[in-house]
Structure 1
Amino acid sequence: MGELDLEYRTAETRYRAALVSEDTERREAGEELETRSDREWPEIMSGFELRQVALALDEGAALTGRTQEIVSELRSQGGYRGVPVPWEALEMRAGEAIAADNPDPISTRPIIERLFPTSVAAQMGGSMINIGTGETEWPVTTSAVTAGWQATETGNVPGPSAYTTLDRPMAPDHTLGIQMRITRKALKQSGAALEQAVRRDMNGAIQQELDRAVFLGSGASGEPTGLFDASWGLTSTAISAAPTWDAFRTEVTAFITANAANGPGSVNLMIRPEVWDTMDGAVWDSGSGITEWDRLQKNIGKTVMTHNALGDPAGAPLATDALLTTNAGGVPPFFVGTWGAVDLIRDPYSDAQSGGLRLTALTTIDNTISRTVQMRILTDIQ
């Protein structure tokens, strides 16, 4: 009996150890399955080659490897006249950038910010998203829920306020086209360098026009409605004077009092280079040499200078506009959406006589705002 009891206890100990080991393995396997897709997608996307796409359109060469897998997957999810190119393929990858100090944004940023890390729209707090098909909208809270105290021992607290929302839709109504011409000599001579050239040129062209349209789009002739359009109902204030930190501080204070910003450090300011030139030349304290630009940089969260997303100075005296944005409770001030992938189409006729390759890249883009209190327009900055 003693021997049987000892054998039973030994078997039970081994059984419990096996259960513990199995449970640990199951947990590790579950974590592996949950995170595998996040790792595999960037790995597969890093192997996409635009050079293969260019050669396939020019010579009819067959796609191979990861490029062929990604193109097949994109085709199964939407219709494309040409070869679908994922947005991630336009990112500037390590070893292929122009300068050695360029970032390596492969899997650390949202979809478009990863492609355009220096985009004005991204720096001003816009949320860049990718939409498969159909329309997308964001319900944004617009109700002003109030709190109140019980006035008497038997009295009631103030009645409930209606919780209301406002939908901000985005629709695939605006298609941007980028045309590129590649000569026959470039196709035969450049080799792998063609990969870098096509990606860099397409990236720069889309980024430049995207920034302009998001802020200055007319809403007509196929363009989306830019944020400076009066239809959004954003608060607009005329400075009617030279730019100073005191003038900007007044608008930042309005952000804070509207509970849209916690302080000047959470506010983004977009200006033209001429405003920087004026402020940097205006000495606030002659004794210390502190300029108005120094005061602005000390207090504001982020300053973005652009000549593309803001209109040229006009009038007498010359005046321009500026834009203030802030993220309220983690909600971005505006959204920029793209539909599907970039549709890369070959024109076989225009350059047929010279043996060149003409490519047209089509992408559908739209933008919308979240809350109007998260953005303010400043006009007549002289």
Structure 2
Amino acid sequence: MFSIPTTNDLAARKNAAEFFNTAGVKSLNDITPHRMDWKDLRAVAASAARHSRSMLDRIKDNTPAERAEEIETAFDGLMALHRACEDEMDVRNEIGNREPRDQEATPEMLARRPNHSAQGSGVDDGTEYNAVDLTDPQNPMSPANWLMRSTGSRESRSFKAWAQAKGGDQYRGLSLGRYLRSMIVGAETDIERRALAEGTDSTGGFTTPTPLSAQLIDNLRAASVVNQAGAITMPLSSDNQNMAKLLTDPVPGWREENAQVTESDPTFGNVPMAPKSLAVMVKVSYELMQDSVNLERELPRILSTALAQELDRVALLGSGSAPEPLGIVNTSGISTAAFDAELTNYGPFVTGRTAVLSANAGPTTAIIMHPRDEGRLIGMSDGNAQPLMAPKAIEEIPMLTTTAIPIDGGSGNDESTIIMGNFAKLMVGIRSDIRVEVSRSYAMDRLQYVLVAHMRADVAVQHASGFHAITGVGKGT
């Protein structure tokens, strides 16, 4: 039975009053996800995630330890509710019925979800993670089994938890921002000195310790639109790994007793995932790094946001020409409709949703577009000058925006592309280590330093017909 521990519930009530007012409840345990309407279920899940992130922003370097612990306890309670709502939505999508249900999801129903992880409720009970053998394919924490979909949470499917399971958490209490600062101004604590000693090489670069690198990757995932849309992330443990790709649906056939079973075409093939290099450079002055009160928090955010936007771009539109990964739009087998006009109604989305369903690819989990196109949708009106309402089936699909999609294509230099589909069919593979290098020779007359963050990632589409692209959106006349 779904239940939030009393300590988490009380802490959440104290630190997230706005959430309770909006939800109209006095306790997190007053919320029963399986009995909620789909729209309310999505709203509560989004609100819980939003208020959780807002609470964590209250923790500063000078926040007393007792106060920080209280906020984290409240965070864990809200995120446990968020995961329960996501679990319920996954189950309804799996059974093909989004209506409220009389009974909670059973462990067997949860286990049938393609992104299921048997790692418990997700409430942080302070348990330390010990190093485990991640090369064992039977281990649920091996890269092949550690599929991550949630964003902005500290649940067991985060890269941080994976890194802890991989080698323990000897840097507990050290933030990525503090580590980056120590690379420039020097270590001030024993834990910073240990982290720098582990990562320093003869060329002046640093390989960020895995637990700290995982923080940056989790920030990246939280900022990634394709991850919000439902893409599944997995850590890559080598330079070449294969993912299964659906080629054709199996075709069953009726047979007489003792008769031969009719052969079906092969259903799966291999998609190689070979991580490619992605890097971002940031310049910062010694004085700013030493004196700024918020740069330790902002620098990881800036790095992760920049990396996330480019990763979103290639996941959606990547050409596949080295060194760029192949994205959804250029993957053979996706359905495409050349719209070649400005949006005036929701017809193109109805067509796309039908194409995805007709391919037996599951539900459409998101529609991704440039903010310009979303603005046009919001501004559409009917014959009575009233806002044009989307059909219910389209209204239920999250519409996400990213400036990673260009709007200067086509003959009129003002066309864009909208991508929709079941994003659980998109795999994003990330190597768990991020290398951060510092140049002390750049513009030394100004005491400026250059930080270069370098990661390796790849994307793979598991079921091409699970996606639909609407091209030529906004074509000029």
The alignment's TM-score, normalised by the length of structure 2, stands at 0.57
Residue 253 of structure 2 is aligned to residue 148 of structure 1 = yes
CA distance in 2, matches of 1:112, 1:59: 24
Instruction: Indicate the residue corresponding to 1:136 in structure 2.
Output: 241
Whether the 8 Å CA contact 1:56–1:63 is kept in 2: the answer is: no
Residue 196 of structure 2 is aligned to residue 64 of structure 1 = no
Output the amino acid matched with 1:322. Answer: I
CA distance in 1, matches of 2:426, 2:450: 35
Residues 252 and 89 (structure 1), Cα distance of their counterparts in 2 relative to 1, 3 Å cut: same
Q: CA deviation at 1:60?
A: 5.3
CA deviation map 1:248-280 (0-9, x unaligned): 212211221221125xxx431112223223333
Match of 1:185 among 284, 287, 290: 287
Output the amino acid matched with 2:291. Answer: Q
Instruction: Indicate the residue corresponding to 1:119 in structure 2.
Output: 224
CA deviation map 1:272-294 (0-9, x unaligned): 2232233333323628x2405x4
Instruction: Indicate the residue corresponding to 1:235 in structure 2.
Output: 335
Q: Secondary structure at the match of 1:117?
A: helix
Q: Spell out the pairing of 1:118-267 with structure 2 (5 A cutoff).
A: 118-150=223-255, 156=259, 159-172=262-275, 174-190=276-292, 193-220=294-321, 222-229=323-330, 231-243=331-343, 244-262=345-363, 266-267=364-365
CA distance in 2, matches of 1:53, 1:138: 34
Root mean square deviation of aligned Cα = 3.7
Count how many residue pairs are aligned between Structure 1 and Structure 2.
316
Whether the 8 Å CA contact 1:90–1:202 is kept in 2: the answer is: no
Q: CA deviation at 1:88?
A: 6.1
Whether the 8 Å CA contact 2:179–2:195 is kept in 1: the answer is: no
Bigger radius of gyration, 1 or 2?
1
CA distance in 2, matches of 1:369, 1:379: 19
Output the amino acid matched with 2:281. Answer: Q
Whether the 8 Å CA contact 2:277–2:455 is kept in 1: the answer is: yes
Whether the 8 Å CA contact 1:49–1:89 is kept in 2: the answer is: yes
Residues 365 and 71 (structure 1), Cα distance of their counterparts in 2 relative to 1, 3 Å cut: farther
Instruction: Indicate the residue corresponding to 1:101 in structure 2.
Output: none
CA distance in 1, matches of 2:184, 2:217: 28
CA distance in 2, matches of 1:201, 1:317: 30
Whether the 8 Å CA contact 2:219–2:304 is kept in 1: the answer is: no
Instruction: Indicate the residue corresponding to 1:29 in structure 2.
Output: none
Match of 2:381 among 283, 287, 291: 283
Residues 284 and 52 (structure 1), Cα distance of their counterparts in 2 relative to 1, 3 Å cut: closer
CA distance in 1, matches of 2:472, 2:212: 41
Q: CA deviation at 1:64?
A: 2.6
Whether the 8 Å CA contact 2:234–2:428 is kept in 1: the answer is: yes
Structure number with the bigger relative contact order (C-alpha 8 A, sep ≥ 6) is: 1
Whether the 8 Å CA contact 1:71–1:85 is kept in 2: the answer is: no
CA deviation map 1:110-157 (0-9, x unaligned): x9455432311212222122223321111224243223334xx77947
Residues 46 and 213 (structure 1), Cα distance of their counterparts in 2 relative to 1, 3 Å cut: farther
CA deviation map 1:30-82 (0-9, x unaligned): xx9x984467939756523345534553355487327736974x79xx99972
Match of 2:369 among 271, 283, 291: 271
CA distance in 2, matches of 1:45, 1:234: 44
CA deviation map 1:342-373 (0-9, x unaligned): 11112121132233322211111221111111
Whether the 8 Å CA contact 1:268–1:300 is kept in 2: the answer is: no
Instruction: Indicate the residue corresponding to 2:205 in structure 1.
Output: 82
Output the amino acid matched with 2:388. Answer: T
Q: Spell out the pairing of 1:327-366 with structure 2 (5 A cutoff).
A: 332-366=424-458
CA distance in 2, matches of 1:68, 1:275: 49
Whether the 8 Å CA contact 1:269–1:322 is kept in 2: the answer is: yes
CA distance in 2, matches of 1:128, 1:80: 32
Instruction: Indicate the residue corresponding to 2:134 in structure 1.
Output: none
Q: Secondary structure at the match of 2:444?
A: coil
CA distance in 2, matches of 1:366, 1:343: 17
Q: CA deviation at 1:200?
A: 2.0
Instruction: Indicate the residue corresponding to 1:53 in structure 2.
Output: 179
CA distance in 2, matches of 1:310, 1:198: 26
Instruction: Indicate the residue corresponding to 1:309 in structure 2.
Output: 405
Q: Which runs of 5+ in 1 are unaligned?
A: 1-31, 92-105
Q: Which structure has the highest strand share of the two?
A: 1
Match of 1:371 among 463, 467, 475: 463
Q: CA deviation at 1:298?
A: 5.3
Q: CA deviation at 1:379?
A: 1.2
The alignment's TM-score, normalised by the length of structure 1, stands at 0.69
